[in-house]
Structure 1
């Protein structure tokens, strides 16, 4: 991977993370850290996890299906960012 590609990947990852944090804060009125478990100790519900799925699909033009629909993929902003990045890269590889 080239340096420009690496820099773009970092920039894209940061943009994804910031967007997810903005969404969470607007929906919950709580400021979240990227590695905070959103569902630990009853913090958020499984229904909220489905809202996250819909938001990620619409905001980042990805399709979350099959084994990617595990709750563990939505526990933290860091994990969701990795999921979106991986799905975008896979979609890019299929297009090219």
Structure 2
């Protein structure tokens, strides 16, 4: 995922620092996420895809089509999920694939 994000940062003339600011994170946090040392949360991936004008599917390697889906082009940015939901449960993260377990 980090390589795809790095390529999209270059294509969109963004630095990791400016990308981090737009995500509401610090540069070190984003760098750790890009290098696989920290997990991405679903709301962060959605925000990242919007900033980079692509889809979450592309960021996750589900598709090689890096274009943002047409139905999202005119959509307004949805509010991000809070760190803790109404039930007091923290948000879910994406775990690496565990094929063969």
Same structural fold, with TM-score higher than 0.5 when normalized by the shorter chain: no
What TM bracket, shorter-length normalisation? 0.3 to 0.5
Question: Which structure features the higher share of helix residues?
Answer: 1
TM-score (normalizing by structure 2): 0.33
Greater RCO (CA < 8 Å, at least 6 residues apart): 1
